[in-house]
Amino acid sequence: MYTMQECCKMTGLNYDTLKYYCNIGIIPNVKRDKFNNYRVFDDNDINWIKGIICLKKCNFSLNEIKLYCDLCLKGKDSIPERKKMLIEHKKQLQEQISSIQESIEYINKKNELYDKFLSGETEYFSYILNEDSQK
């Protein structure tokens, strides 16, 4: 069993965030130690928390994570709904990747053009400066 502090170190969450996640129910069935009634976590909890962190990185809102958690607690019958949520977020992530790739391509093209300007291979021009300013 791991303490809150140990769990924070293992997952990268800060203490207040972990406590909040416990309080809103996205970390279900949190156990308490017998002596001080402090929250304690096992390896399954740690893996679940790492999954929550991944869902956050996938742009799941806390409400969506709560829904996902509730569906998981319903068992196997809720797998189609969970898959649908994951597929929707995967599509959004793929769109972000496409947008980022377009931005990278733009930067690459601009850098190639700037290299040509700097080497003298291409005469400098600007789309925003008037002709007199470019000389």
pTM of the model: 0.77
Q: Which residues of the chain have pLDDT under 70?
A: 132-135
Give the pLDDT confidence of 37-47 residue by residue, as tens digits: 899 999 999 99
CA separation (Å) from 3 to 18, 20, 38, 75? 11, 15, 8, 27
Residue appearing with tokens 């190639």: 112
Residue range 4-74, CATH number: 1.10.1660.10
Task: Give the model's pLDDT for residue 135.
Answer: 57
Give the pLDDT confidence of 110-130 residue by residue, as tens digits: 999 999 999 999 998 888 887
